[in-house]
């Protein structure tokens, strides 16, 4: 493959050379760039779907789109945001930063790195193509509960299943690559307890991915056999159990929530010490808290299923364990605040996004504690309160975290500085828009408005108008973000060696070894490093 790429590179046609460079690259920085741009492109597609839903919800009654198509759009929005936006963005950041942070020349398995990326465009093209198929796209929600997805799913469900398999294979290969890189390729002297927090959070996330993605693969394979091979895993008429689907799905789904948030914790732990001009408070406790969150995430899946009729003992146990997760999460928030306390703080755009991440993620955490209570969850379940909760966790946690990382590391990536004034405008517009969109949903949910339905009672109209206007503003802010990034890459002011003035010990100002682009020579393995 590499020899073929080099042959094409020698040809004169610039288009072929450009295609060969990006198709066959094994450079971790270029693959990281591919992941980030794919994520950004899907972000606009999934965001457009959200804006379409909010257009329908601007007024009560069926206004613009058919309820079945509304559910198709809702399903694709959720699947693309989870699998196509958040996860590829974090994998892209891992590809860019982890080798440089640990002093490695590249990722340990560069050709597999290339392959794991190029599976994704095909997976998402397959998923999006279902819109144009007979029967339309899947319309059973991003959780694809049986029997909606098995007995009653449209024919396009099979393409969805294959797309999920491809995404899962990509995630598992990416996770293996990250684990092998971190364990085997750290520079001599880079012990585990000297690794930057972003590296730690991704190491833990990678183990989570390897453990839960096969569970997702298993449940979609069971769906496939129920649909076409006569099995009855989830069909009560054949001795199966639809609730078993929920148990298997959420055994994957709840750790997946932490897969989407842990790298954001690592990003905040890199940015806040930089702009507070202080070392991170409680480094070891941050590592142990992250490990605790990852372990506990495997034993609380049932809090998504309190209303399915679980035994009282199971409900109590899962309720207490769910509330227990708040302890290591609280340790993290305390440590970030303690790092900022009496620091010489400045408020450049990455720091603003990091602080916004901490504050709004905490709001999402508090509403999560409310949902952890069994009697309360019976009332909140399947209302817009749940929508408000997980968007307050995931938008500030995953999206704000990614944006903070892009602003923070962009000068390192392209050598140019972004426009600070536009960056701050982006932050404040996005913060206003996020709160205008999702905060009213707490009230509509507490008043009983059900989610996933395109019509609603007149009493919810005012709050829904607020949410819709916030969603459209949020969509416009992403256009501004795209402009800021392109402007920085094309004609931004040259970044200095010390981008953030007065910030000492900034981990990426240390020059990293030049990447070995094709890995024709064996990688350097830190055999003599202290493990």
Tell me whether residue 145 is one of the annotated catalytic residues. no
Given 25, 30, 70, 77, which residue is catalytic?
77
Rounded CA-CA distance 484/472 in Å is 19
Given 28, 227, 304, 381, which residue is catalytic?
304
Tell me whether residue 303 is one of the annotated catalytic residues. yes
CA–centroid distance for 397 within its chain: 8
Tokens, residue 182 = 């971190």
| CB of 177 closer than 8 Å to CB of 519 | no
Tokens, residue 102 = 């640990």
CA distances to 212, 218, 299 from 295, rounded to whole Å, are: 12, 21, 8
Task: Centre a 10 Å sphere on the Cβ of residue 482 and count the other Cβ atoms it contains.
Answer: 13
Given 165, 186, 278, 332, which residue is catalytic?
332
Tell me whether residue 30 is one of the annotated catalytic residues. no
Tell me whether residue 256 is one of the annotated catalytic residues. yes
Given 30, 56, 106, 226, which residue is catalytic?
106
Tell me whether residue 457 is one of the annotated catalytic residues. no
Nearest by Cα to 396 from 350, 363, 360, 444:
360
| CB of 252 closer than 8 Å to CB of 304 | no
Given 227, 254, 426, 442, which residue is catalytic?
254
- Describe the crossing of helices 28-56 and 461-491 by its angle, rounded to 10 degrees: 150
Distance from the first to the final alpha carbon of the chain? 35
Task: Centre a 10 Å sphere on the Cβ of residue 190 and count the other Cβ atoms it contains.
Answer: 20
Q: Which residues contact 290 (CB under 8 A, 6 or more apart)?
A: 200, 201, 204, 262, 265, 328, 332
Tell me whether residue 389 is one of the annotated catalytic residues. no
Tell me whether residue 290 is one of the annotated catalytic residues. no
DSSP string across 366-377:
HHHHHHHSHHHH
Rounded CA-CA distance 95/113 in Å is 9
Tokens, residue 66 = 């058919």
Given 412, 451, 452, 487, which residue is catalytic?
451
Tell me whether residue 150 is one of the annotated catalytic residues. no
Tell me whether residue 367 is one of the annotated catalytic residues. no
- Residue 409's SS3 state is helix
Given 30, 56, 226, 256, which residue is catalytic?
256
Rounded CA-CA distance 336/349 in Å is 17
Given 25, 33, 170, 349, which residue is catalytic?
170
Tell me whether residue 531 is one of the annotated catalytic residues. no
Given 22, 142, 145, 472, which residue is catalytic?
142
CA distances to 122, 139, 155, 164, 385 from 131, rounded to whole Å, are: 15, 10, 11, 16, 29
Tokens, residue 385 = 């309160």
| CB of 451 closer than 8 Å to CB of 478 | no
Tell me whether residue 442 is one of the annotated catalytic residues. no
Given 130, 297, 329, 444, which residue is catalytic?
329
Given 96, 200, 250, 258, which residue is catalytic?
258
Rounded CA-CA distance 95/89 in Å is 10
Tell me whether residue 315 is one of the annotated catalytic residues. no
Token pair 């999402």 in the structure block, residue: 364
Question: So which residues are the catalytic ones?
Answer: 77, 106, 142, 170-171, 254, 256, 258, 269, 303-304, 329, 332, 451
């Amino acid at each position: 493959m590499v020899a073929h790429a080099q042959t094409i590179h020698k040809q004169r046609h610039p288009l072929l050379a450009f295609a060969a460079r990006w198709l066959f690259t094994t450079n971790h920085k270029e693959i990281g760039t591919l992941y980030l741009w794919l994520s950004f492109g899907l972000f606009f597609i999934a965001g457009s779907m959200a804006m379409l839903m909010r257009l329908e919800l601007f007024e009560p009654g069926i206004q613009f789109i058919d309820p079945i198509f509304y559910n198709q759009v809702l399903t694709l929005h959720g699947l693309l945001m989870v699998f196509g936006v958040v996860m590829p963005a974090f994998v892209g950041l891992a590809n860019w930063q982890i080798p440089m942070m640990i002093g490695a020349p590249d990722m340990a398995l560069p050709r597999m790195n290339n392959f794991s990326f190029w599976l994704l465009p095909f997976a998402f093209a397959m998923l999006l193509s279902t819109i144009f198929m007979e029967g339309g796209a899947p319309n059973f929600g991003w959780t694809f509960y049986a029997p909606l997805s098995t007995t009653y799913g449209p024919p396009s469900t099979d393409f969805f299943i294959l797309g999920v398999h491809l995404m899962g294979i990509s995630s598992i290969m990416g996770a293996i690559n990250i684990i092998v890189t971190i364990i085997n390729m750290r520079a001599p002297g880079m012990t585990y307890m000297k690794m930057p927090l972003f590296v730690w959070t991704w190491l833990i996330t990678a183990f989570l991915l390897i453990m839960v993605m096969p569970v997702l693969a298993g449940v979609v394979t069971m769906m496939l056999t129920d649909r076409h091979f006569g099995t009855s895993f989830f069909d009560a008429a054949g001795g199966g159990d639809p609730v078993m689907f929920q148990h298997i799905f959420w055994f994957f789904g709840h750790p997946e929530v932490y897969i989407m948030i842990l790298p954001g914790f690592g990003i905040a732990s890199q940015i806040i010490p930089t702009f507070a001009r202080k070392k991170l408070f409680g480094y070891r406790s941050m590592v142990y808290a992250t490990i605790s969150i990852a372990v506990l995430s495997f034993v609380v899946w049932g809090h998504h299923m309190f209303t399915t009729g679980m035994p009282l003992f199971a409900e109590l146990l899962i309720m207490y364990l769910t509330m227990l997760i708040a302890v290591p999460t609280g340790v993290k928030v305390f440590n970030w605040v303690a790092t900022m306390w009496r620091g010489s703080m400045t408020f450049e755009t990455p720091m603003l996004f990091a602080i916004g991440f901490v504050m709004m993620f905490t709001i999402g955490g508090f509403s999560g504690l409310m949902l952890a209570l069994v009697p309360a969850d019976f009332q909140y379940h399947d209302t817009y309160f749940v929508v408000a909760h997980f968007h307050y966790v995931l938008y500030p946690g995953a999206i704000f975290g990614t944006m903070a990382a892009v602003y923070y590391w962009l000068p390192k990536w392209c050598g140019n500085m972004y426009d600070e004034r536009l960056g701050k405008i982006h932050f404040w517009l996005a913060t206003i828009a996020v709160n205008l969109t999702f905060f009213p949903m707490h009230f509509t949910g507490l008043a009983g408005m059900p989610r996933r339905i395109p019509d609603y009672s007149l009493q919810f109209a005012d709050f829904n108008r607020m949410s819709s206007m916030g969603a459209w503003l949020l969509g416009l802010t992403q256009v501004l973000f795209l402009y800021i990034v392109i402007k920085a890459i094309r004609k931004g002011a040259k970044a200095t060696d010390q981008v953030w003035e007065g910030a000492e010990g900034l981990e990426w100002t240390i020059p990293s070894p030049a990447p070995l682009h094709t890995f024709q020579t064996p990688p350097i393995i830190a055999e003599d490093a202290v493990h």
